[in-house]
Amino acid sequence: MRIQAIVLAAVILGGCGTVQTVVRDDQVAVDGLKKQKSYCGAVPRIYSGLAYDFCSLHAPLGEGVDADDYKNAAIPVVLIDAVVSGALDTLLLPYTVYKQQTDGSIVIN
């Protein structure tokens, strides 16, 4: 039971916006947003997980979804992740402020 909880937490955190932008290489975040065809041009490092989540929402609906269908199944998951990312981003604020000053924003080309 305990191992299952650890595996579940690892899977959930693996897709977390903060993990994508702070822990992993910048190219991973760039590739993820390009794959989603996000309209964002850059992700600031301060509150980057939250920004990454909103950039994920700022993308066209997935393949096979009608233009008239305004429901996107991923929206509730991204919004829950945004809450978790916001909390983690707040804890990491001193580090991300430093990284923003030294490296600038994560640019999506």
Distance (Å, whole) CA 97 – CA 47: 9
Per DSSP, 79 falls in state H
Q: Kindly provide the residue ranges of all beta strands, DSSP E only, lying in the chain, ordered along the sequence.
A: 42-43, 106-107
Instruction: Return the minimum-mean-pLDDT range out of 29-33, 64-68, 86-90.
Output: 64-68
Determine the average pLDDT of the residues in 98-107: 96
Kindly list the domain boundaries of the chain, sorted by start residue.
2-59+71-107
- What angle, 0 to 180 degrees and rounded to 10, lies between the N-to-C axes of helices 75-91 and 93-103? 90
Tell me the pLDDT band of 71, cut-offs 50, 70 and 90: very low
